[in-house]
Amino acid sequence: MTRTVITLGGDGSLLEAADRIRLAPADGDLALVLPVGAALARSGVLLAVAHRIAGGRPFAVVSADPRARAIAASAHVRSYASLAALERHEVAPTEPDTLPGAAPRHVPVAGGAGLVRRAAIILSLTAAALLVLAVAVPSATLQVVAAAAPLTIPDFELRAGPGGEIAAQRLTESVALRLTGTATGTRTLETRAAGSVRFTNRTGEDIRLPRGTLVRAGAVRFVTTEDRSLPRSLAVPVLLSSLDIPVEALDAGPSGNVDAGKVVSSDPLRYTATNPQSIRGGESNTVPVVTQADYDGTERRIPAALEAAAQKQVSAWRSGGVRAGAQLVGGAIWSLDQQVPAGQIVGIEATTFDLLVAGTIVAFAMPNEQPRAAALARLRTAVEPGSDIDETGAGVDVLSAKVAENGVTFSVRATALQFRRANAVALRSLVAGRSPSEAEDQLRTRGVRLAELQRWPSWWPILPLLDSRITIVEGVAR
């Protein structure tokens, strides 16, 4: 006779066992292998249901767990410590090899005996169906809370950017600015008066008049601008030789302007000198000049101008330069890349001047959940082993955010409640098949409190026998 071996895992349920039994060949016997601690092996009722589902086929449970074998025996199901023991029909000394679960064969008889047998079969099937419903249908949700304790750690820093705890998008923009300054310095520009003086020779000899020969008009002095020779006179004082020579005032300014006939010779015995026309052109004008102080004052306005440009750029980034799901944090910083040096501006004659500068603006964008998410991750590193933090009620305060070229540094303060994590698998197994009050007592032994119990149907006296029908929801006692 063939044998079908069905092996279940530790969380194998009655429903899984039933499905696999139904898929097994109709002939031959069945061996249900259960690991130590299997959920199905903890209930004799479930094993009895599995036995009934197998029908009339030989059925046995194989488990290395003596407790599981004892439970199987209480449900009138054969049990063995191993498949090898099953082959040899070998059981432990305290476990007789019997077939209590096998239905005895009856010889059909006529009349009322057949009706009784059919009624018994119907009742057995009905009982099995009701038992399956009782096992598979009920469900329960238990909300449990663990005692919590405050978790406080010293203030710490987080950095968003390359190499930091938070990934960030670096944004940059180049700007060019023109700062206009006003010249406050002055410079006086003076020109010399210039004209022509007529020299007349009063001797019979040639007279050399070198450049710089001096003549006067009162206190105003003029000098010749050319090197000339005054020819001798042929008949003194009848025929005298004359020569016009250009002159300019020795001192610049309007004082060198004189009317015609005012110039006299500085050596009247040898020659005479006069100006047939007025000598003009002497002027004194004041013009604006850019000073070093003017340049320095305009230069001091550069930081404020770049800061204003940075704030304007931040607004533009926030309007459309940041990717979806991210936010601009910490504002922006600027750097001065270039400016026109003072040597090119100081000293020029102008009423106003322009100081040209170029700079770079840098900002960082990071996911909207930051820096809170990174702060919570830092808190988790400080909890006790086997514990976790209540993220919903955690407090994260950003004390400051400092933007630099390589990222944003946050100074953070974070607090939370820490609580010991509950083992949902163990808790489900612990309360399966127990009354609500018994379940509450059992949970208390594991350091958790039953806050709320929802079950269906509500009138069912015990929690589901299958722990897979039990849901554990964790909460935190605040």
Paired with 443 in beta bridges are: none
- Residues 285-297 have a mean pLDDT of 95
- Residues 351-355 have a mean pLDDT of 96
pLDDT tens per residue across span 24-67: 887 788 898 988 888 878 888 788 888 888 877 888 999 888 88
Give the pLDDT confidence score for residue 159 in this predicted structure.
Answer: 94
For the record, the structure tokens of 87 come out as: 């082959």
Greatest CA separation for the chain? 193
Q: Which residues contact 242 (CB under 8 A, 6 or more apart)?
A: 198, 199, 200, 201
Give the pLDDT confidence score for residue 419 in this predicted structure.
Answer: 82
What would the 3-class secondary structure string for 302-369 be? HHHHHHHHHHHHHHHHHHHCCCCCEEEEEEEEEEEEEECCHHHCCCCCCCEEEEEEEEEEEEEEEECC
Judging by beta carbons within 10 Å of its beta carbon (0-12, 13-18, 19+), is residue 146 exposed, middle or buried? buried
Measured CA to CA, the distance from residue 20 to residue 9 in angstroms comes to: 13
Of 231 and 9, more confident: 231
Judging by beta carbons within 10 Å of its beta carbon (0-12, 13-18, 19+), is residue 2 exposed, middle or buried? exposed
H or E element in which residue 149 lies? strand 148-152
What share of residues in the chain are helix, strand, coil (percent, to 5)?
A: 25, 40, 35
Q: Which residues contact 240 (CB under 8 A, 6 or more apart)?
A: 200, 201, 202, 233
Could you tell me the pTM of the whole model?
0.53
CB 418 within 8 A of CB 384: yes
CB 435 within 8 A of CB 461: yes
Measured CA to CA, the distance from residue 352 to residue 342 in angstroms comes to: 14
Q: Is residue 102 pLDDT above 50, yes or no?
A: no
Name the nearest CA neighbour of 278 among 348, 207, 195, 216. 195
- How big is the CA angle at 253 (ends 249 and 259), to the nearest 5 degrees? 60
Judging by beta carbons within 10 Å of its beta carbon (0-12, 13-18, 19+), is residue 242 exposed, middle or buried? middle
Give the pLDDT confidence score for residue 167 in this predicted structure.
Answer: 92
Res. 177 pLDDT band, cuts 50 70 90: very high
Judging by beta carbons within 10 Å of its beta carbon (0-12, 13-18, 19+), is residue 217 exposed, middle or buried? buried
Q: Is residue 21 pLDDT above 70, yes or no?
A: yes
CB 199 within 8 A of CB 273: yes
Give the pLDDT confidence score for residue 171 in this predicted structure.
Answer: 92
For the record, the structure tokens of 267 come out as: 């050596």
Give the pLDDT confidence score for residue 1 in this predicted structure.
Answer: 63
- Residues 414-434 have a mean pLDDT of 85
CB 414 within 8 A of CB 378: yes
Res. 418 pLDDT band, cuts 50 70 90: confident
CB 12 within 8 A of CB 38: yes
pLDDT tens per residue across span 240-283: 999 999 999 999 999 999 999 999 999 999 999 999 999 999 99
Measured CA to CA, the distance from residue 65 to residue 62 in angstroms comes to: 9
Cis preceding linkage at 457, omega within 30: yes
Give the pLDDT confidence score for residue 357 in this predicted structure.
Answer: 96
Measured CA to CA, the distance from residue 47 to residue 149 in angstroms comes to: 44
Name the nearest CA neighbour of 393 among 408, 414, 412. 414
Give the pLDDT confidence score for residue 109 in this predicted structure.
Answer: 39
pLDDT tens per residue across span 448-463: 888 889 888 888 888 8
Q: Is residue 96 pLDDT above 60, yes or no?
A: no
CA 343 to each of CA 138, 259, 330: distance values in angstroms, whole numbers, following the listed order: 92, 44, 38
Residues in the chain: 478
Name the nearest CA neighbour of 141 among 472, 474, 477. 472
- The residue type found at 318 is R
Query: Considering the chain, what percentage of its residues have pLDDT values greater than 90?
Result: 49
Q: Is residue 97 pLDDT above 70, yes or no?
A: no
Res. 350 pLDDT band, cuts 50 70 90: very high
pLDDT tens per residue across span 373-409: 999 999 999 998 878 888 888 999 999 999 999 999 9
DSSP letters along 9-49, please? -TT--HHHHHHHHHHS-SSSEEEEE--TT-SGGG-HHHHHH
Q: Is residue 228 pLDDT above 70, yes or no?
A: yes
Q: Is residue 123 pLDDT above 80, yes or no?
A: no
Residue 410 phi/psi, 5-degree rounding, is -105, 140
Measured CA to CA, the distance from residue 72 to residue 63 in angstroms comes to: 10
pLDDT tens per residue across span 433-451: 888 888 888 888 877 888 8
pLDDT tens per residue across span 184-199: 999 999 999 999 999 9
